Chain A
Amino acid sequence: MKVISADHAVAHGARLARVEVVPAFPITPQTLIVELIAEFINDGELDADFLPVESEHSAMSAAIGACAGGARAFTATSSQGLALMHEMLYAAPQNRLPVVMVNVNRSLGAASGIWVEYNDSMPERESGWLQVYIEDNQEALDMVIQAYRVAEDREVMLPMMVCLDGFVLSHTVERVDFPDQHLVDSFLPKFKPLYLLDPDEPVTMNPITPPEYAMEMRFQLHRAVDGSKEVIEKVDREYGALTGRTYGGLVDTYQMEDAEIALITLGTVTSTARVVVDHLRSEGKKVGLIKLRFMRPFPSDELESIAENLKALGVFDRSVSFNGFGPVFTETRNALYHLGTPLTNHIAGLGGRDVTFKEVREMFTVIEEHAKGHRVKECHWHGLRGDS
């Protein structure tokens, strides 16, 4: 047990997962991760190669290459760094190379900021990477270990992005328990690639793919991402049996048994929302919380069964598609189309704006109104000065 930041929890997770190659480039608020990993390697606590590359594009290229060469590869990035990797991100899923990367969410582009927003990782859900969003430091450590187990499962073989809120988690210290190394070793066997990039027994990776094959390959990947759902649930259960900690797999719920209205959250706002739910429950209101963990695979069926009896549902988003909605809302509305649940979108916390108890309380007020059959706006910006 230690009191550490989520960045350091991630580094310990990577150490316990016995990662073998770590190509990385520093960027705030991720830098603490790779710095600590470099120290582990230097101090002989981790037997791995650290590659200080000249850019994030190279970091991802090297991670993909290392994975193709049979090594367990890890890297971490943030915001502009992730954007610079964009091109290379697409190689890993189609080649079925289970690289694990931590993205410490930070707002992307102008206006420049170093604070949390999901507009860096959300666009990458088209890339074929699995994406999990983290609520606290313990989950950060545990999910790095779980991520390798899921990614390297023969039924999955896909890269996975572990996303955590910049500063709100990355630089916040909390109590974190460490699983014993021998437990992790028994949970996470040595990585076996599908094909080994070996000069002595050559294979052709990524030959040019004419239109006659590209569609079928895309569909294969489409199925693989969908098929990872079962493995994610199974791995979480097994991890729970070993360590006593589970996270609900694709989507977790809080106070949902008899809930009439609910809010979907992801990331650290989930923790604040738990407190709001407790408060509203103490007032006798039947409210609940749905913690969305994975954006890819997106738990459409799971959400449908959770939301079945709700009178109204709100969806929190920490990024927005301009002139549209937040991505979580768009995906949720697709998933719940047949249920016809009254839905509202709640955008907050952009550019690292603090999301407070009061704002989450406001979200529930809108959802309550909606449940009563009152007309409400579809999309609300909370904490905004001026009307939204």
Chain B
Amino acid sequence: MYEIRFHGRGGQGAVMAAQALAEAAVLEGYYAQAFPYFGAERRGAPVRAFARIDESKISIKSQVYEPDVLVILDESILEIDPISEGLKPGGKAIINTVKRPEEVDLGIEVECGTVDATTIALETIKAPIVNTSILGAFARVVDIVPLESILNAIMNRFGEKLGHQSGVMNAEAARIAYQKTVVGRSKGTRKVVGKKMWLPTWNEIPIGNTLSPGEIDGIVVGPGSMTQNLTGTWRTQTPRYSKEKCIRCLRCWFSCPEGCIERLEDDYERWDYRYCKGCGICAEVCPADAIEMVRGVYEW
């Protein structure tokens, strides 16, 4: 059995990638499954998805802890999560990055494919949604599912959900990524440390499902603790605001899920980049095209 773990951020399409891969495997005559694990936070937050491929019916319903393949849709997660944890020594990794495989340190030396999936996605589907590009790279590195089946699965899933044209563009992104993927070996020098997590026994948890302001094992909890959660670190693209174009309708201010757009006394907007997670909703709702999402992490 082949077990694959996807790491991405909410909005990048890790779940769709896992589903499309499973469908591609089924088209090849395999049995397959795919499922997500979501935390409480959404767009921009680290998410995981899992897929399994086997020659016979797959029964197991728990998460993947020792993957054969890691698919990393967002390089920045390497810095916050020990994502190569459990990767089998003979395993493989596919990473969305501008780096070459030998420049990537996974904490384990494995066969590794790198591709600048974000650029490919922005150029082909005009959005930084990298799930289909990364599947092209997957076909290049892992020879279990050929590119043709991946393209068919993408056409099926994306075409059905988002329309035929979208299916075609996403398949194109996968094809380009397949060609541009560089295959080599990753570095394995970084020490992978498990994320420190507060895992109390039942009698150590404060009773009453209630948290007073304070710290538990170095983590700020209770009211106001979300201010410590710097969602700005999730950002892969940044809104750029044009004061000239802005007609001050306040739609962006009203729609930002992080509440990080402030209205100044002169009636113009200001962005708090500590919390702006780069979701692009403000740009989407702006009727005056006064907000442009720009690739990268900036403070204008």
List residues of A whose CB falls within 8 A of some B CB: 94-96, 157, 194-195, 202-210, 212-213, 215-217, 219-220, 223-224
- B209 x A205 contact (CB < 8 A): yes
**Minimal Cβ-Cβ distance residue in A for B204:** A216
Complex partner residue of A219 from B199, B202, B221, B223, CB under 8 angstroms: B202
Chain B hits for A210, CB < 8 A? 39-40
Interface centre among B39, B40, B210, B221 (most CB of A within 10 A): B210
Chain A hits for B90, CB < 8 A? none
Chain B hits for A217, CB < 8 A? 202, 205, 209
- A203 x B209 contact (CB < 8 A): no
- A209 x B209 contact (CB < 8 A): yes
Chain B hits for A194, CB < 8 A? 207-208, 210
Rank and list the top 10 A-B pairs by shortest CB-CB distance, nearest first: A202-B223, A216-B202, A96-B208, A219-B202, A204-B211, A208-B40, A195-B210, A205-B210, A194-B208, A94-B209
If A96-B207, A207-B211, A208-B40 are given as contacts, then 19 extra A-B residue pairs at C-beta distance below 8 Å, sorted by A number, are A95-B208, A95-B210, A96-B208, A96-B209, A194-B207, A194-B208, A202-B223, A203-B211, A203-B212, A203-B222, A204-B210, A204-B211, A206-B210, A207-B209, A210-B39, A212-B197, A212-B199, A215-B202, A217-B209
Complex partner residue of A220 from B207, B210, B221, CB under 8 angstroms: B207
Chain B stretch 168-227: residues in CB contact (< 8 A) with chain A: 197, 199-203, 205, 207-213, 221-225
**Minimal Cβ-Cβ distance residue in A for B211:** A204
- A95 x B209 contact (CB < 8 A): yes
CB distance from B45 to the nearest CB of A (A): 12
Known: A194-B207, A212-B197. A220 touches B212 (CB 8 A): no
Chain B hits for A204, CB < 8 A? 210-211, 221-223, 225
Report the count of interface residues on B (CB-CB < 8 A).
21
Chain A hits for B211, CB < 8 A? 203-204, 207
* Cα–Cα, bound, A164→B200 (Å): 40
* Cα–Cα, bound, A215→B201 (Å): 10
* Cα–Cα, bound, A220→B205 (Å): 9
Chain B hits for A216, CB < 8 A? 200-202, 205
- A220 x B203 contact (CB < 8 A): yes
* Cα–Cα, bound, A220→B200 (Å): 12
**Minimal Cβ-Cβ distance residue in B for A219:** B202
Chain A hits for B224, CB < 8 A? 202
Chain A hits for B201, CB < 8 A? 216
Give 18 CB contacts A-B under 8 Å.
A94-B208, A94-B209, A96-B207, A96-B208, A96-B209, A194-B207, A194-B208, A194-B210, A202-B222, A203-B210, A203-B213, A204-B223, A207-B209, A215-B202, A216-B205, A220-B203, A223-B202, A224-B207
* Cα–Cα, bound, A219→B221 (Å): 22
Chain B stretch 134-156: residues in CB contact (< 8 A) with chain A: none
What 1/0 mask marks residues of chain B from 37 to 50 whose CB sits below 8 Å from any chain A CB?
A: 00110000000000
Chain B hits for A157, CB < 8 A? 207-208
